[in-house]
A and B are shown apart, each in its own frame.
Chain A
């Protein structure tokens, strides 16, 4: 009976979503307060019933209810409990339910945390989110019901969760990624609401910024987790493959990065309003496109699910409605949203605009490369795939320009800058980074790499320019501590995120240039030299895990005869399904990883072994963590919190008022 209750609550949630998408929206036009105010309770209801459905599905997994088809296909009796729970989103239906749960969660968060939002704006925002939810509820109820039963012949045991997914990464990567993906629906809803009312002021930007930033932080972490998971779990030792599904998640990130920057400009300076709206629409549309690409199985990818063509068609139609509808609305109403002020070529706006454009161009390239195989197939050109080198070619060059402009732009003032005054703060970091760039590649082993020289120059330029900018900011204060205390949190957020970008840039490029990866044949007891290290396979033994057998290699790694580490890579065979899985063993370090994965046993007792030496690979994810942290710090800035309270304090305390005013002007002058 219980699964039917899940089905029922899903339908109730759907009906509430329908009400949510109609009543508050209508209320915002006919001015009935009760209609508008119903948005909050409808949102809460939608969330509660979706959560109930999700909890019931989780319960079905927990209790091994194999009469539910989805459970039978994605779990079995011996599956460890944490994977039974994460198997809820291990397949198509369940991950879609997670999608909707998170959408309902974001809607609830908006309704609870936006107490100071005017009621009509809130009503419209929640209504738009309700409309998105309606689309997904229809999708799940009609094409992918997770509560379908297998009756009357209930299986005794389930199939298995794909062994690749039986991992810690599976527990956190999809929820984080979805939090990011779906989180962009909030700014999308804000954009639609602004277009409907024709009202887009700095207050609008201030409301949407924390939501956009948080979605972006989640997406950043989600992508980093995915990359890290692929690195240690897939057993190939790569951290990015330009796989269509990776691209699908990466495009919203690229455009979203542009969006958080144009939002900053819209809030501070009232410029690029249309641009911001358009990016908000694009970001969310790309999230939907990503969902389409993953769900429809139209592309060959490691992420592809077994698919059903009706699902692809459904999402494509939904995508067309969302994109078509919002773009037509934009075309009709964009005229009413005008920018108020101009700016010079040498201003923060100009540099931000340039970098935003580059991010959009990059996203377009990725989109082209991802969809080109589909277009070519449809046009009958043939079955084509776009190789990784193509993506790398343009991506590296475009990001290099971003890095160059970033160091300059962050130091400039809004509107207009007297370059003479910031020149002395730009020269030292520039010289130091050029020196580092030209000097360091000569120190590293191997031949001098020009690519590394450029990468180090650019990476250290981003880092040093940020540090020098902080020094410039505090140079007028009496002590460094006093200066640092005066800077706003959103400024700190920007600095931390930019440093993260620099670290990530250094990590990706140096890792690509200096990695040593080889597949070798190891004879037990015979050491092998690779990239300055000595690897010896001592033996391979067989052990048993909770739901698998494993061959465990014992590899000793030495440098100049001294033992560095002992690695125990595994080759697992899972009981159900008999799938093989490689568990790489990694000796992680701040400056390098040693990565060993076991291949197959060869006929004479030798083993195929994958040995990788990966310099600074951790910096890639460290950089991403910094970027997300920067975003989080910026959200914590107090100007996003209740305005009314501040005004009250200003009235009562003169001192408060004085600080408030200086902070305000400082914000305008310096802070992004």
Chain B
């Protein structure tokens, strides 16, 4: 074979092998590390899997935040206006965490239906609402809410 063609062939083979390994690894790693988002109502009704890393989010229900007396464990509820999800977290909450504000959580659902959070992301900006939460929170089935204010917590 012409040496230049041979060089090209080697290059092409190199790229094919490299890219297929890369794609294979990506898909494999994706399976392990993708966290699906579920609104509280989908978790409470049993749609979400237990024992698998998922994300959840909603507004922190006022009056639901309870601190343990001997450890850092904190329990609170989040809601999307339709159902309330119990959350447990054993680290320091972010500064912007507050009752009646939006949060996005990463963690696992345990067998008792409590969301064991490993990460809590609170809003960063006065008028900012994480899009996932904004999409899931609906008031009287109408418009998407811009913030947690005005959400009906009694439902």
**A residues neighboring B (CB under 8 Å):** 159, 162, 164, 235-236, 297-300, 302-306, 357, 361, 365, 368, 372, 382-387, 389-390, 393-394, 519-521, 577, 579-582, 597, 599-600, 602-604, 608, 610
Contacts and interface: CB of A to CB of B under 8 A. Distances in A.
B34 A581 contact: no
B32 A306 contact: no
B36 interface: yes
Contacts of B93: 599-600
State the main secondary structure of chain B at its contact with A.
mixed
29 contacts: A159-B126, A299-B131, A300-B121, A300-B130, A302-B121, A302-B124, A304-B125, A305-B125, A305-B128, A306-B126, A357-B18, A372-B30, A372-B34, A383-B55, A383-B132, A383-B135, A384-B36, A384-B37, A386-B34, A387-B53, A387-B106, A393-B33, A519-B72, A519-B90, A519-B92, A580-B96, A581-B95, A603-B67, A603-B69
Given A305-B125, A389-B32, A300 B132 contact: yes
B29 A162 contact: no
B26 A368 contact: yes
Contact of B26 (A300, A306, A365, A389): A365
A387 to B, nearest CB: 4
Contact of B29 (A394, A520, A579): A394
Contacts of A577: 126
B93 to A, nearest CB: 7
A608 B70 CA distance: 11
A554 B106 CA distance: 33
Contacts of A297: 128, 131
Contacts of A302: 121, 124
A520 B72 contact: yes
B121 A390 contact: no
Interface in B42-69: 53, 55, 67, 69
A277 B72 CA distance: 55
A361 B34 CA distance: 20
A602 B104 CA distance: 23
B127 interface: yes
Given A361-B22, A520-B72, A521-B70, A383 B128 contact: no
B25 interface: yes
A162 B95 contact: no
A98 B125 CA distance: 21
B72 A387 contact: no
Given A162-B124, A300-B131, A386-B33, A604 B69 contact: yes
Contact of A382 (B32, B36, B92): B36
A390 B33 contact: yes
Interface of B: 18, 22, 25-26, 29-30, 32-37, 53, 55, 67, 69-72, 90-96, 104, 106, 121, 124-128, 130-132, 135
Contacts of B34: 372, 384-387, 390
Given A297-B131, A580-B95, A608 B124 contact: no
A68 to B, nearest CB: 18
B59 to A, nearest CB: 15
Contacts of A581: 95
Given A159-B126, A361-B18, A608-B92, 4 more contacts: A383-B36, A385-B55, A580-B95, A602-B67
B101 to A, nearest CB: 11
Contacts of B91: 519
Contacts, number: 105
Q: Of residues B25, B37, B92, B124, which shows the largest number of chain A Cβ atoms within 10 Å of its Cβ?
A: B92
Given A300-B131, A394-B29, A521-B72, A383 B37 contact: yes
A521 B67 CA distance: 12
Given A304-B125, A361-B22, A519-B91, A387 B33 contact: yes
A303 B90 CA distance: 25
Nearest to A385: B35
Contact of A306 (B104, B125, B132): B125
A387 B119 CA distance: 11
Contacts of A599: 72, 92-93
A576 to B, nearest CB: 11
A652 B72 CA distance: 79
Contact of A390 (B30, B94, B127, B135): B30
Contact of B95 (A235, A299, A384, A603): A235
A394 B25 CA distance: 8
B87 to A, nearest CB: 16
Contact of B32 (A300, A303, A365, A390): A390
A548 to B, nearest CB: 12
A365 B95 CA distance: 32
Contacts of B92: 519, 597, 599-600, 608, 610
Contacts of B94: 235-236
Nearest to B125: A306
Contacts of A582: 95
A389 B33 CA distance: 7
Contacts of A164: 124
Contact of A579 (B33, B69, B95, B106): B95
Nearest to A518: B91
Given A159-B126, A298-B131, A383-B37, A608 B53 contact: no
Contacts of B131: 297-300
A581 B122 CA distance: 13
A371 to B, nearest CB: 13
Contacts of B126: 159, 306, 577
A487 B125 CA distance: 52
Contact of A304 (B35, B67, B128): B128
B61 to A, nearest CB: 18
A578 to B, nearest CB: 9
